[in-house]
Structure 1
């Protein structure tokens, strides 16, 4: 499997933290030198490991925002 290169361009916020120190974060990430996208996933301390997550374009993130705003939470 090829190495995945990533660069966190901006940390937008931490959603939660596990007892082991992993954090679920929303970041702006450039994957393999591509245009940065919004990314929500679990990260180990110091970002040396990552869990599965989702990556969204700005348009997709806006749609998700609108869906969440319409929910009765």
Structure 2
């Protein structure tokens, strides 16, 4: 694993959309460059050596975005 990130905890891993896909989406608690942990959403290869572009949020940012998204689509 590179020194620029450490996956501290996996929250959820989604299945690949197709068997031929290289990446699957994950929500992880991750530390980038030894900085404070963030919630991170991005695609990962099965062995975590490759990743797609993604987004890293503080817990507060994640909660605000999740609540706004749920309100927009009619959830609670």
Q: Normalized against structure 1, the TM-score is what?
A: 0.84
- Runs (4 or more) in structure 1 with deviation over 4 Å come to none
Runs of 5+ unmatched residues, structure 2: none
Aligned residues: 71
Paired residue for 1:64? 65
1:18-57 equivalence runs, <5 A: 18=17, 19=19, 20-57=21-58
Shift of 1:36: 0.7
| Structure showing the higher strand proportion among its residues | 1
TM-score, normalisation: structure 2: 0.81
Unaligned regions of 5+ residues in structure 1, if any? none
- The one-character-per-residue Cα deviations of 1:19-69 (angstroms, maximum 9, x if unpaired) are 234210000000010111000000011101111000100110110121122
